[in-house]
Amino acid sequence: MLRVGITGGIGSGKSTVTRLLHDGLAAAGVAVIVVDTDLIAREVVEPDGAAFPQLVERFGSAIVAPDGRLDRQALADIVFNDDDARLALRTITHPAISAVMMARVEATPPEGVCLMDVPLLVEDPTRAERNYDVIVVVGAPVDVRLDRLEARGLRREDAAARMAAQASDEERNAFATHLVDNGGGVADLERAVAALVPLIVPRR
């Protein structure tokens, strides 16, 4: 099994690259599984998820919405400017996310490829070095990323703040096996990923 970590700053388009890479590998006859850590992160904080009771114990009932689910905005308001609270959040959620993630990775056929969409891959350098055979870093200019995020409904200043809280482009690029430039249009990105596919296909 080949483990491919795909990462990039917010708004870079890593999920699109993951989808295109999946389709390209599948077309090449490769058995491929996608593990999306954003989706897993949402799963583990559902009321029946592994992290939910620990979050409530640590941060209190104020983070529980009237429907009994996590009030994400209330939690974000607590942790955004509090380093200790943010560390506590990571200490609770990361092991739960990793457990689900690894179970899904293990479902990849031995001759296949597991594409792991991991937004904060570089922010956890021990995991970055230990869990991936190949790391694909998706990049785009800051202004392009801000425009994309604003188009999704995120306030520009909030998007900029989230970028500032993540690793820098230089820090991400230092981990890259392959860099993908997503600063242009869809056709440019499709060509870039098509060129990447043969570099990812496992050797038989």
96 Cα distance to chain centroid? 15
- What pLDDT score does 4 carry? 95
User: Closest Cα to residue 128, out of 91, 171, 85, 161?
Assistant: 171
- The answer, yes or no, to whether residue 122 has pLDDT greater than 90, is no
Residue 139's beta-bridge partner residues? 181
Q: Encode pLDDT of 98-113 as tens digits.
A: 889 888 899 899 999 9
Q: Encode pLDDT of 66-102 as tens digits.
A: 999 999 999 999 998 888 999 999 899 988 988 898 8
Coil, strand or helix: which one is 8? strand
Q: How far apart are CA 113 and CA 31, in angstroms?
A: 6
The structure tokens 């021990």 sit at: 126
Q: Which long-range contacts (CB under 8 A, 24 or more apart) does 54-63 make?
A: 54/92, 55/89, 55/92, 55/93, 58/88, 58/92, 59/85, 59/88
Q: How far apart are CA 77 and CA 48, in angstroms?
A: 23
Q: Encode pLDDT of 128-179 as tens digits.
A: 556 799 999 999 999 999 999 999 998 899 899 889 989 999 999 999 999 9
Q: Under 8 Å CB-to-CB from 134, ≥6 apart: which residues?
A: 2, 3, 4, 5, 177, 178, 200
Average pLDDT, the chain: 91
Q: What is the tally of helices (H) and strands (E) in the chain?
A: 10, 5
Binned at pLDDT 50, 70 and 90, residue 190 comes out as very high
- Whether 126 and 44 have beta carbons less than 8 Å apart is answered as no
Q: Under 8 Å CB-to-CB from 12, ≥6 apart: which residues?
A: 138, 139, 140, 145, 182
The domains found in the chain, sorted by start residue, are: 1-31+110-199 (3.40.50.300), 40-107 (no CATH)
Q: How far apart are CA 118 and CA 15, in angstroms?
A: 9
